């Protein structure tokens, strides 16, 4: 019988666990070009008030400092494209926040993947990350051959699109990174640049100070009027630059039940959102990604688009 490589066995297990893609990248400092881009982005204030982006630069640029001894980054993508979506005329929340908080879901799966790797290589040690550490996940996803970064700054997986959470398992054994031949650019497409309501997509990356996703989730304080008037019916996040992307045209709904839109949330009318009490909010969004903005943040957003 033909011997299956460790890499192939790990990838097969990742897919069995529900990930849509899995690849391997050598753990090493990021390229000088990447470091310069990040510095430029931060130095020009594109990160808005996310002060954490200014911290731990040395760790962000070198995963071997973040996880001493790590040799390989296993990068995975988990589809969250929802089966059932909130009708266009109702208040919109970003697809990624429809269901359970993804950090836990992705990390739980990565821990299962690590347990599997231990059956192949018992001495392996690893740490799982999903937006929980200074790590340039999209950069490593490209390095691992999962896809390319589009002008909307999401990782685009050819044939699958961009509605994916990224996770990284840093392990202390060498795995063979593979070379992939895949399209690496958006070609002549500019749909996301045109569709972005606040023109937040720049040649240098997303200008978070203008981005409705940032302003409705991470931002504290009032949303400036010039952006509030562009919110349309978005009350949490913004998917516009992904919705218009042709790579998402044939996105397959996710199989992960934790990401499904709960019926009670799907049934909320505009009036219900306006009358949402703190207790009802807690009951509806316990363990949801929407907790990130908090009750006050969500209430602020609803008020902002009705100014």
List active site positions: 131
Choose which of 14, 231, 245, 293 interacts with ligand SF4 (CB under 6 A): 245
Count CA atoms within 13 Å of residue 42 on its CB side.
Answer: 15
Distant-in-sequence, close-in-space partners of 293: CB < 8 Å, separation ≥ 6: 216, 217, 236, 301
Choose which of 190, 255, 282, 286 interacts with ligand SF4 (CB under 6 A): 190
Binding string, residues 197-236; x marks residues near ligand SF4 by CB under 6 A: xx-xx----x----xxx-----------------------
What CA dihedral angle connects 33, 39, 40 and 44, to 10 degrees? 170
Total number of residues that touch ligand SF4 (CB under 6 A): 24
Q: Is 186 in the site for ligand SF4 (CB under 6 A)?
A: yes
Q: What tokens were used for 271?
A: 């009036």
Structural contact between residues 263 and 75, judged by C-beta atoms closer than 8 angstroms: no
Buried b / exposed e over 20-31, threshold 16 CB at 10 Å, is: bbbbbbebeebe
Burial (Cβ within 10 Å: 0-12, 13-18, ≥19) of residue 269:
exposed
Find the part of the chain contacting ligand SF4 (CB under 6 A) among 3-11, 55-63, 191-199, 255-263. Answer: 191-199
Binding string, residues 136-155; x marks residues near ligand SF4 by CB under 6 A: --------------xxx---
For ligand SF4, the closer CB: 171 or 201 = 201
Q: What tokens were used for 285?
A: 């969004």
Q: Which of 120, 187, 138 is nearest to 25 (CA)?
A: 138
The residue with tokens 């309501």 is 197
Find the part of the chain contacting ligand SF4 (CB under 6 A) among 31-39, 97-105, 186-194, 254-262. Answer: 186-194
Choose which of 112, 173, 189, 284 interacts with ligand SF4 (CB under 6 A): 189
Q: Cβ 188 to ligand SF4, closest distance in Å?
A: 9
Give contact residues for ligand SF4 (rule: CB under 6 A): 150-152, 186, 189-192, 196-198, 200-201, 206, 211-213, 238, 240-241, 244-247
């Amino acid at each position: 019988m033909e011997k299956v490589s460790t890499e192939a066995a790990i990838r097969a297990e990742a897919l069995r666990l529900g990930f849509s893609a899995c690849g391997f990248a050598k753990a090493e400092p990021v390229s000088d070009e990447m470091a310069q881009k990040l510095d430029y982005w931060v130095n020009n204030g594109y990160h808005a008030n996310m002060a954490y982006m200014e911290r731990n630069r040395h760790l962000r640029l070198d995963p071997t400092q973040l996880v001493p001894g790590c040799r390989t980054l296993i990068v995975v993508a988990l589809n969250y494209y929802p089966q059932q979506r909130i009708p266009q005329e109702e208040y919109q929340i970003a697809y990624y926040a429809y269901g359970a908080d993804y950090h836990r879901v992705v990390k739980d799966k990565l821990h299962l993947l690590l347990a599997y790797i231990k059956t192949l290589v018992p001495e392996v040690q690893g740490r799982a990350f999903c937006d929980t550490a200074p790590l340039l996940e999209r950069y490593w996803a490209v390095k691992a051959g999962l896809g390319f970064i589009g002008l909307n700054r999401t990782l685009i997986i050819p044939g699958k699109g961009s509605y994916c959470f990224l996770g990284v398992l840093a392990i202390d054994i060498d795995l063979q990174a593979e070379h992939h031949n895949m399209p690496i650019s958006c070609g002549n497409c500019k749909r996301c640049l045109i569709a972005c309501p606040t023109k937040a997509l720049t040649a240098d990356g997303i200008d978070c100070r203008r981005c409705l996703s940032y302003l409705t989730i991470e931002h504290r304080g009032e949303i400036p009027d010039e952006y509030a008037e562009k919110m349309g019916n978005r009350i949490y996040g913004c998917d516009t630059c992904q919705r218009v992307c042709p790579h998402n045209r044939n996105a397959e709904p996710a199989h992960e039940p934790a990401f499904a839109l709960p019926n009670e949330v799907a049934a909320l009318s505009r009036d219900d959102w306006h009358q949402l009490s703190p207790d009802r909010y807690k009951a509806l969004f316990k363990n949801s990604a929407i907790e990130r903005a908090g009750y006050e943040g969500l209430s602020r957003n609803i008020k902002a688009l009705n100014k």
